[in-house]
Structure 1
Amino acid sequence: MIDGETGWYFIHTSVKVAIFNGAKTLLALNPRDEWELVGGWPTADDESLEETARREASEETGLELGELRLAHATLFEPVPTKKVVLVIYAAELSSAYQLILSEEHVSLQWFHVADLPANLSEEYEQSIRRGYGILNPQL
């Protein structure tokens, strides 16, 4: 996309979170019947990408996250011809929780890192594995 004022090419940014509970990661089923990480677009009120990640995770799952660790950043094409910058953080749950499903997704489900669903993009799968490795460097 070309900015009308500067003439610069820019790409939207999507901020996602790989949330882990031990060796399981939380995925959200979107209306396209694809599993994805929770997250979304920064707003004008967000002051950092971490703030975006926390806000989006809370809105989509009801979870309040502790420490976030940068897991992966890449260009991603979720829909043909629509590229976004994908920034993914990793977070470990540290207390009891209750999931709250937002209207943005059909379902929320925990998947073992070694047994991720087939309808999950390669970019998300790579990010989950990187995030798990960052949070569990002894493995």
Structure 2
Amino acid sequence: MESSDVEQARARHVRIAERLLAAVSAGDRGAQVACYHPDVVLEFPYADPPVRIEGRDAVDAYLKVALGIFELRLTVTRVHDCVDPDTVIVEFTGEGRARPTDRAYANTYIVVLAFRDGLVVGQREFYNPVPAARALTATPAN
């Protein structure tokens, strides 16, 4: 791949990553799922227990539940170019609330996105699970 082709691919993938995160902030599951390849794999290694979802339909079903629990505003804080232009690492913050408890939620994330055919085919998301658990607890811990 020529140098200019690599840069164009990276730029295209960063735009898709930003569109994906903006869709989460907007609560627009359809727009989020539209960024995913049919063979997408979502992984949340720090969830308890770790979560792995395979296929766009399964991801859509998972997101229907997840977006019903958390209302989030995501802000990209840094994007890392990788040697492989089909991989993008994004750091971002999330603020919002847990709907079941109406408690505030804030976290920081790192996501590794892999692309195929102009769509996200792999998403490995790393975050601290403690703030989510606290936001979902009905009463503050003593």
Both proteins in one fold, TM over 0.5: no
Higher-RCO chain (CA-CA 8 Å, sequence separation at least 6): 1
Higher strand share: 2
**TM-score (norm: length of structure 1):** 0.30
TM-score (norm 2): 0.29
